[in-house]
Chain A
């Protein structure tokens, strides 16, 4: 049904329509409204016989998910930021055991310095945890992709994260056609687990595996993820025939065909980016956009095909591998290794720094002229950094930089207002 609704509430309704049997919940901003919404619906008897468990931590949440999924129950949870870190051991267990859990990540920065706002540090920290990771651009996709995520998880017997930008999507009120129960039932078959703990037919899950077989087990994990590269577009197509909406898939081109420059990015920045690129095309630039929707598995071949005609690629991401550069940029470069395309790495929007049409346009005007340094830190206040570096050099026992930079910015603001 078409509603003007908070992103979190839309996701909660979509998940409820997937008939989950167990939901484990521990609150952390900015995902909390999702599990609160689900808890409310379960309490009102709107989610079948679903068990909603308030657990004592994120580690507990994922552990409950592992137990319930292993018995063959459709299982859901959500987390963000430090919550993801705290559950990390269990996150690896879920994928290692092949359990089709669906988890929303309300993408948020990881501290210190403590920061509740959006970037991709949390899901990137779980990049190599062998979960499927799907990114969404808006709240329509957020609702739709959760429905596809359950289908994919259960078809592949792999856990799936749906990554949605914290606040920008989780807290935004927009128009969403929330998937209807009857349509979800047509798309999502009953969960028929590949493996289930059953006292009548005992099995062992989680055996210790030594050097004689560990490589083979890990290879199979990789192989199974690559198989999802076939499932994801197939599911998206089937979803479109039932819901008449294009949601999901591996990647999406927005006027990227036959363009000299292609911006590659993921998530909610796609909307603002489209607007900037449309302006640039109007001004004569040959530039388009490619949005990665399946980050893991990474659609290497599809990316190469989509970028084959480009001269340069500008990878814009809200994540940083400290000491290296862009994380998504590294993936894109690996995919493009055999093509004569130069790829630039741009890191922006960290910790919720606003990404605006103006600052994107300034960056991209440099980008199309090959004037971006490697990597490029978007909208970085270089003067602040220089002052702090100077202070660290000159002051004995200079103390923490985060607090010092805050004081510096506050005094600069006061100066600007009084002058």
Chain B
């Protein structure tokens, strides 16, 4: 079982990202579960959502406490909530940031993760360019498919089409593909 925890802020499409990821996994014949951890929904408030992907049916309903991957939609959260809680020493990190890692001031966490386990993608910039708004979720899903073999970009595109329609879907697909091509390994 592969467990993902997505951190972001209200309005960034954190819950939608988790749902689309689960749909993409379903498209590839896998079992998947997306559970939101809703607070009192407010724009800008920290939001968490959980995804599990497995080849077997998933029965667990507890929050993802020991993620294999953290997706961080807003790097300012590193200094606001305990993002790294439960992340294993061989876990992965996918961050929305146009900055280089040293500029994020998370050296302690980075030090314990192996090489090639930390990725950044400039998801907000891609979203602003193609969507005209700062919703980084589909860019991060595109990047996810470049970095992990378990899901393919075509499945994420199906999931985007499942969630959105018309022009919005098309623009998000452009974002996902662009992020897929741009995913950078630090």
Contact = CB atoms under 8 A, between A and B. Distances in A.
Partners in one complex: yes
Interface of A: 3-4, 6, 116-117, 138, 167-168, 171-175, 268-272, 274-275, 354-358, 417
A173 B38 contact: no
A172 B65 contact: no
B18 interface: yes
Given A4-B22, A173-B19, A272 B60 contact: yes
Contacts of B63: 354, 356
A171 B59 contact: no
Given A171-B35, A174-B33, A175-B31, A274 B22 contact: no
Given A116-B40, A271-B59, A274-B59, A175 B32 contact: yes
B59 A275 contact: yes
Interface in B23-63: 23, 25-27, 31-36, 38, 40, 57-63
Contact of B34 (A172, A270, A354, A356): A172
B147 to A, nearest CB: 22
Which of the four size classes fits the interface of chain B?
Answer: 20 to 34
Contact of A272 (B23, B32, B34, B62): B62
A173 to B, nearest CB: 4
A269 B59 contact: no
Interface of B: 15, 18-19, 22-23, 25-27, 31-36, 38, 40, 57-63, 65, 82
Contacts of A138: 59
B54 to A, nearest CB: 11
A168 B35 contact: yes
Contacts of B35: 167-168, 171-173
A412 to B, nearest CB: 14
B61 A268 contact: yes
Contacts of A4: 22-23, 25-27, 32
A172 B49 CA distance: 10
Contacts of B23: 4, 173
B38 A171 contact: yes
30 contacts: A4-B22, A4-B25, A4-B27, A4-B32, A116-B38, A167-B35, A167-B36, A168-B35, A171-B15, A171-B38, A172-B33, A172-B34, A172-B35, A173-B19, A173-B22, A173-B32, A174-B22, A174-B32, A174-B33, A174-B34, A174-B58, A175-B32, A175-B57, A268-B61, A271-B60, A272-B59, A354-B62, A355-B62, A356-B65, A357-B62
Contact of A175 (B26, B36, B61, B82): B26
A402 to B, nearest CB: 15
Describe A's contact surface by its main secondary structure: mixed
Nearest to A174: B33
A247 B23 CA distance: 24
Contacts of B15: 171
Given A171-B38, A172-B33, A172-B34, A271 B26 contact: no
Contacts of B61: 168, 172, 268-269, 271-272, 355
A94 B182 CA distance: 60
A357 B26 CA distance: 25
A4 B58 CA distance: 13
B144 to A, nearest CB: 16
A167 B39 CA distance: 11
Q: Which of A138, A172, A356 has the most CB of B within 10 A?
A: A172
Contacts of A358: 65
Given A167-B36, A173-B34, 10 more contacts: A4-B25, A116-B38, A172-B61, A173-B35, A268-B61, A270-B59, A272-B59, A272-B62, A274-B59, A354-B62
A357 B60 contact: yes
Contacts of B65: 356, 358
Closest 5 CB pairs of A and B: A4-B26, A271-B59, A173-B34, A356-B62, A173-B22
A174 B60 CA distance: 12
Nearest to A268: B61
A173 B59 contact: no
A121 B45 CA distance: 28
B107 to A, nearest CB: 17
B82 to A, nearest CB: 8
Contacts of A275: 59-60
A357 B35 CA distance: 16
A174 B58 CA distance: 9
A52 B77 CA distance: 43
A286 B149 CA distance: 41
B152 to A, nearest CB: 16
Nearest to A357: B62
Contacts of B82: 417
A6 B33 CA distance: 10
A116 B32 CA distance: 25
Contacts of B38: 116-117, 167, 171
B33 A173 contact: yes
B22 to A, nearest CB: 5
Contacts of A355: 61-62
Contacts of B33: 172-174
